[in-house]
């Protein structure tokens, strides 16, 4: 039976499947697939690793701050700058758009079922559980948990008009920009009070309770944003430990912090705004390559035309200020404008390639990666956890920033070679199959059926 799509997997099954809703058995027409969305998902997934690899292979503060570790000059600084302009937040934005699109695909196909809401929420809650396990055991920057958490809210929005969805998403985007500005003022005040308390303590003055709290808050902030050499050494020792419990403990510190955010925190607005915009774009047919070529060309021209200058300016601010944390927060007021613009530029470029049939073989491989996005995403975490932590080779903190991208390239090659080979034999990736079986509480068919088997079914 043809089952509904998964948000992190392809919108329909690439393999030969059967539509038994009317009691007949017939292969699903290959044209029913939305290969453009698969390719876009695959592109976003590979792009996310460009940024995740930094926090996987070195102290997390280096993600935004090139002066922390991994080198802040030469090739390392160039790599940070390019990633800041073209990738940081942009790939996650693109992935969120695709997730929103998949919600529309799924709920549209579920509408005729009486248990539609049950399936949707059961599926989302399983993703939530997968995310918790993944975060604590493999990758503290896990995105499955927050995506599932935000996905719980999306079901009632499924029938809204595309324009309404895009407007709501855009409002959240503006509010998120305002939250960055507010946080910048709050952070500046915290730093000023903390530094004043430290000066008072150094002069031998007895600190009041408020001054002690300000000093402690500032020290905690500094340990995270600008760790000392001693703190970096201690951090590396935890991650390189051969004791798995110690590694999990180091990971849990960050996971507990992120998972303790209230549901209304701007961190979730960041996800919701893009998911809602993605839902609207899917209803308009934009994410299925259904629009005229000139529209996607405009996405490229306007997206890159706006995003590259905006992000280049914030990169210059960070470099010229030696990564001042307060300036970073104020500069982040343009973050959503810059990342959405670049993401739409990337989207337009992929759609142009798909519609023109350029690089057909490459797009087919990229689509295969997208169809197995859940499995490939977790595979990234497994490989990097083995390479960098005490689970395996203990390379954490040993590579410079630019050297991390040798690892990224190797993982990309694995994804692009293995995914198409796997899908020749199987209908889903292994985790996609597991998730789907749990969602429907029924073992799903895994192997593709041969042409002879189709004819005799």
Q: Is 16 exposed, middle or buried (0-12, 13-18, 19+ CB in 10 A)?
A: middle
In angstroms, rounded to a whole number, what is the distance separating the alpha carbons of residues 116 and 106? Answer: 9
Q: What is the dihedral of CA 103, 105, 107, 110, to 10 degrees?
A: -150
* pLDDT score, position 3: 31
What is the C-alpha to C-alpha distance for residues 154 and 90, in angstroms, rounded to an integer? 21
Question: Which pLDDT tens digits describe the chain residue by residue (457 residues)?
Answer: 223 333 344 333 333 332 322 333 222 233 434 689 999 999 999 999 999 999 999 999 899 889 888 778 899 999 999 999 999 999 999 999 999 999 999 999 888 888 999 999 999 999 999 999 999 999 999 999 999 999 999 999 999 999 999 999 999 999 988 888 888 788 888 888 988 998 899 888 888 888 898 889 888 888 888 888 888 999 999 999 999 999 999 999 999 999 999 998 888 999 999 999 999 999 999 998 899 999 999 999 999 999 999 999 999 998 998 888 777 777 777 888 899 999 999 999 999 999 988 889 999 999 999 999 999 999 999 999 999 999 999 999 999 999 999 999 999 999 999 999 999 999 999 999 999 999 999 999 999 875 444 434 4
Q: Do the beta carbons of residue 340 and residue 93 sit within 8 Å?
A: yes
SS3 426: strand
What's the token pair of residue 374?
């859940």
* pTM of structure: 0.88
Burial of residue 427, with CB atoms counted within 10 A of its CB: 0-12 exposed, 13-18 middle, 19 or more buried: buried
Identify whether the C-beta of residue 120 lies closer than 8 Å to the C-beta of residue 440.
no
Cα distance between residue 272 and residue 267, in whole Å: 9
Q: How far apart are CA 389 and CA 395, in angstroms?
A: 7
The predicted structure's pLDDT at residue 376:
98
Integer angstrom CA distances of residue 152 from 128, 198, 445: 10, 44, 27
CB hemisphere CA count around 185 (13 angstroms): 4
Contacts of residue 219, defined as CB under 8 A and 6 or more positions apart, other chains included, come to 194
């Amino acid at each position: 039976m043809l089952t509904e799509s998964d948000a992190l997997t392809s919108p329909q099954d690439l393999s030969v499947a059967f539509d038994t809703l009317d009691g007949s058995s017939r292969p699903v027409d290959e044209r029913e697939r939305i290969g453009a969305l698969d390719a876009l998902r695959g592109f976003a997934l590979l792009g996310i690793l460009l940024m995740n690899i930094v926090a996987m292979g070195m102290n997390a503060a280096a993600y935004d701050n090139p002066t922390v570790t991994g080198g802040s000059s030469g090739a390392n600084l160039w790599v940070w700058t390019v990633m800041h302009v073209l990738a940081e937040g942009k790939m996650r934005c693109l992935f969120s758009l695709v997730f929103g699109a998949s919600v529309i695909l799924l709920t549209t196909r579920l509408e005729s079922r009486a248990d539609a809401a049950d399936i949707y929420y059961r599926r989302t809650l399983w993703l939530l559980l997968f995310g918790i396990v993944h975060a604590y055991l493999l990758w503290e920057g896990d995105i499955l948990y927050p995506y599932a958490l935000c996905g719980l809210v999306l079901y009632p929005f499924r029938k809204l008009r595309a324009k309404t969805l895009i407007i709501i998403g855009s409002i959240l985007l503006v509010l998120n920009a305002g939250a960055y500005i507010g946080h910048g003022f709050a952070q500046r005040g915290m730093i000023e009070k903390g530094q004043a308390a430290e000066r008072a303590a150094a002069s031998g003055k007895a600190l009041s309770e408020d001054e002690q709290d300000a000093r402690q808050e500032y020290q905690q902030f500094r340990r995270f944003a600008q760790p000392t050499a001693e703190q970096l050494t201690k951090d590396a020792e935890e991650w390189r430990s051969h004791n798995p419990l110690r590694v999990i403990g180091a990971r849990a510190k960050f996971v507990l912090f992120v998972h303790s955010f209230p549901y209304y925190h701007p961190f979730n607005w960041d996800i919701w705004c893009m998911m809602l915009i993605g839902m609207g774009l899917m209803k308009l047919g934009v994410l299925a390559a259904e629009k005229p070529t000139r529209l996607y060309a405009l996405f490229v021209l306007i997206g890159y035309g706006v995003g590259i200058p905006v992000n280049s300016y914030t990169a210059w601010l960070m470099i010229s200020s030696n990564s001042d944390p307060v300036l970073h927060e104020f500069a982040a007021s343009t973050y959503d404008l810059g990342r959405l613009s670049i993401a739409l530029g990337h989207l337009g470029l992929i759609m142009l390639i798909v519609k023109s049939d350029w690089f057909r073989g490459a797009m087919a491989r990229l689509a295969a990666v997208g169809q197995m996005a859940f499995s490939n995403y977790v595979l990234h975490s497994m490989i990097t956890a083995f390479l960098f932590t005490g689970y395996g080779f203990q390379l954490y903190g040993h590579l410079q920033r630019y050297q991390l991208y040798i690892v990224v390239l190797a993982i990309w090659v694995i994804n692009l070679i293995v995914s198409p080979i796997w899908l020749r034999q199987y209908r889903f990736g292994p985790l996609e199959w597991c998730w789907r079986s749990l969602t429907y509480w029924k073992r799903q068919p895994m192997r593709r059926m041969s042409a002879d088997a189709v004819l005799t079914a």
